[in-house]
Structure 1
Amino acid sequence: MTRIPSQPSTTETGNVVITGGNVLDVVAGITRTADIRIENGRIREIGIDLNRSGAEQIDATGRVVMPGLIDAHVHLTAFSADFRELERNAPSYIYAQGSRIMRETLQRGFTTVRDLSGADHGMARAQEEGLLVGPRIFYCGHALSQTGGHGDMRLPGEDHAPGSRGCCGIGTVADGVDAVRAAARDEIRKGAHHIKIMASGGVSSPTDRIDSTQYSVEEMEAAVGEATAANRYVAAHAYTARAINRALRAGVRSIEHGNLLDDESIALFLEHDAFLVPTLVTYWALKEEGREFGLSEGMWQKVDTVLETGLDAIRRAHEAGVNLVYGSDLLGGMQRHQNEEFRLLAQVQPAIDAIRSATVTAAELLERSGELGVVAEGAIADLLILDADPTVDITVLADIDKHLVSVIQGGRIVTTEGITR
């Protein structure tokens, strides 16, 4: 596969016809041979022998055309597994690293991402304007955390104010209903597409236990209330069933991780039509490489707690009909394993359902159904052209560097080498 350059190499005609491809309908789970006409960044027509006059033409005969992938849990500025590094470095360096991460993410076929702390208005705007090559960004800004919670990176012996030693940490500490309301309103002011709260302990924070619950129900409800008032939603980091269930009852839309869910959790997901974003690959990668990329020994020892139960949680949720969405949550140099999540998911669900989690279901979570995650008339023209069918063999996506022929994002051809034009 051709590397995507640091500067865009795109077709600017706004008028493209892809001919002869096997188009994957992710909703129906089938492919059919058809042409796709793209105008002004959107799919205008799908059919046989479409009018090609005045259009850039791509012959995709024998190839599979599918929607661009969506990763619903990334950290685009996390160049290290040690989040404290983000507080020690200059903003210019953080965003230079972020631009590299964005470019490499697009190269892996992810045309849209949901950032769960790190990216901000500037990165999203730069991508939208073509200043940064990378996926379309839906961001939360800073995650909201209680003192000593998963977003508080101070060590036990540090007494400085949270966030006072750097610009670019992942969290903002807000204690109490009024402070949570103010923090949520501030992220919304800065353009956040969603609010993230820390509802339990985590692996990469230095002073909390994974099995702790964080934020009172009243504080979580305050965040949900502010998000709802602004037509936004809340995503909650939560591992244990107790933390998951409290957050779902408080009205959050998505649970991030959710490895230790129970039967009550599954019932609550279904009752609230909420979404589960498991991130199995990050635990696999942290166990294999976390210490090499900045994870402390104490943090590394937490990984087993969530790694062993994750696959079973996904299997149970899938069988019950819970909305499952693709997320990687990889940090530092481990981000190169982003597509490995497909191989893990396929152990407990059919390939087409793993694909749906990274396309149509992810788009539903993002509140962009019909626009993203589908090859359909009227949708944004985010497309991948592959040399094999991932519904038959999920390793086509897991090993995408071997199979990705072209990325089309918003109707612009990012790279086309290997395709007859």
Structure 2
Amino acid sequence: MTRLLLHHATLIDGTGAAPLADAAVLIDDGRIHWAGTLSDAPTDDAVRIDVGGNTICPGFFDCHVHFSLPGGGATPLDRALHPPSYHYFQLIERLRATLHNGVTTARDLMGIDAGVRDAVAHGLVEGPRLLVAINMLSQTCGHADFHLPSGLDLTPMIGGSLVDTVDEARRRTRQLIAAGADVLKVASSGGVSSPSDQPEWLGMRRELIAAVVEEAAAYGHKRVAAHAIGHAGIEAAVEAGVTSIEHGYQLDDALRQRMVDAGIFLVPTLLETMADVTASPSGQAKSARWHALAHESIAASAAAGVKIAVGTDAGLGPGHGTNLRELGLLVRFGGLTPMQAIVAGTSTSAQLCGLSDELGTVAAGKVADLVVVRGDPLADIDGLGEPQNILLVLKEGRVAVDRGGFVPVAGAAAAAPPPESTTPR
């Protein structure tokens, strides 16, 4: 692979440090070889890429997506209208749009299997590096239970697994890990979009979640994400020792402190709260109530010191490729500064995913996932959510998209298929 020197840039490195003016980043063999002020750059034969005074950021994460769902106002039942083969072709555009709009790593928390992850890692299709949960676990009449009043059971199609005993939870966790799951997802509360429950209802009980956590730790130290909206579900998940609370709308100060003490992350999914994910009047009422609560809750969580990572629920309401709009919402509702929002979407999210040794910051030795953003994102954090402002995306040092026209064809190394990835998936 050609050595590239990106220069004439401001660097936001993902650590929260002040931006570095007149910066440059040297890429060699898919990794960052050096980063700093251009005047200190190593002198060699690297292809020099002038990025026009724009800003280099680490590749962004979305820690809560659903590539199996259509997003953008389309009904989730779309999946029931076509044969499975059609669904895989739909994935191609969803993955591509996400990568091209600045997300180089995504955690899919229900709906796609390890084959999709591996197809991306092996260069068969474009997309962000993937971590997959495969299914979401809940009890009968829980958030993963999509038995409809008509008698139809969409649970397997949506990506749900129902477990009603500790032994069933242990067995299904082992089965998912054997199938290649990188992360386990449990539903410890009801949900907004599910047909049979309410967000304030307790979902999987503490003992079921604890069994999943124990099995996940025993089989490769896998992490556990908990869909938890209402207070009872959040409390059960925190007590059981999950890695992250997804949504967390009804957190109180006592639970926030317990999360801080235990190092549990919060993934607020504010972008999902801006979309209508239900069709029925009762579902719309649930949505209005709980999404308003989400907007009120996130600032208190951030102020309490809870570690905030970025996730959007893209596919369940938000369109694929709109992921970075979440950063502006973290500023608007969460009280984060633009720099704190960028850190949430890079280094904090990398920590949540267990990838901080390789990704999340711009530093020598790390994988060269980089995004060149138009202008100054600290002055216009909402601009990150607009495709025209994502000028260049590099994944593992290769050009995924070059809207800025920065990279000469001879230096892009974009036409050659990547080798089987040896970097984190």
TM-score (norm 2): 0.89
> Are the equivalent residues in 1 in contact too, given 2:99–2:400 (CA < 8 A)?
no
Which residue is 1:303 aligned to? 287
CA shift, 1:229, in A, is 0.7
Residue identity opposite 1:202 in structure 2? G
Which residue is 2:17 aligned to? 29
Which residue is 1:340 aligned to? 325
Match of 1:185 among 158, 171, 174: 174
Alpha-carbon spacing, 1:332–1:364, altered in 2? closer, same or farther (3 Å): closer
Which residue is 2:271 aligned to? 281
> Are the equivalent residues in 2 in contact too, given 1:406–1:417 (CA < 8 A)?
yes
Match of 1:56 among 47, 58, 66: 47
Alpha-carbon spacing, 1:349–1:25, altered in 2? closer, same or farther (3 Å): same
CA shift, 1:36, in A, is 1.3
CA shift, 1:52, in A, is 5.7
Q: Which runs of 5+ in 1 are unaligned?
A: 1-12
Instruction: Say which SS state the counterpart of residue 214 (structure 2) adopts.
Output: helix
> Are the equivalent residues in 2 in contact too, given 1:83–1:153 (CA < 8 A)?
no
- 1:66-104 deviation digits (Å, cap 9, x = unpaired): 111101110011015644443554221222111211111
Residue identity opposite 2:169 in structure 1? V
Alignment of 1:260-409 (within 5 A): 260-286=250-276, 290=277, 295-331=279-315, 334-335=318-319, 337-347=322-332, 348-398=335-385, 400-409=386-395
Residue identity opposite 1:57 in structure 2? R
Instruction: Say which SS state the counterpart of residue 102 (structure 1) adopts.
Output: helix
- Report percent identity of matched pairs: 34
CA distance in 2, matches of 1:14, 1:130: 18
Instruction: Say which SS state the counterpart of residue 390 (structure 1) adopts.
Output: coil
Match of 1:136 among 129, 139, 152: 129
CA shift, 1:53, in A, is 3.9
> Are the equivalent residues in 1 in contact too, given 2:388–2:403 (CA < 8 A)?
no
Which residue is 2:222 aligned to? 232
Residue identity opposite 1:367 in structure 2? G
Which residue is 2:84 aligned to? 91
Residue identity opposite 2:5 in structure 1? V
Residue identity opposite 2:360 in structure 1? G
Instruction: Say which SS state the counterpart of residue 259 (structure 1) adopts.
Output: coil
Give the length in aligned residue pairs. 398
CA distance in 2, matches of 1:413, 1:314: 35
Residue identity opposite 1:29 in structure 2? A
Instruction: Say which SS state the counterpart of residue 317 (structure 1) adopts.
Output: helix
User: Mean alpha-carbon deviation: is it higher for 79-88 or for 58-67?
Assistant: 79-88
Alpha-carbon spacing, 1:54–1:92, altered in 2? closer, same or farther (3 Å): farther
Instruction: Say which SS state the counterpart of residue 372 (structure 1) adopts.
Output: coil
CA distance in 2, matches of 1:177, 1:89: 35
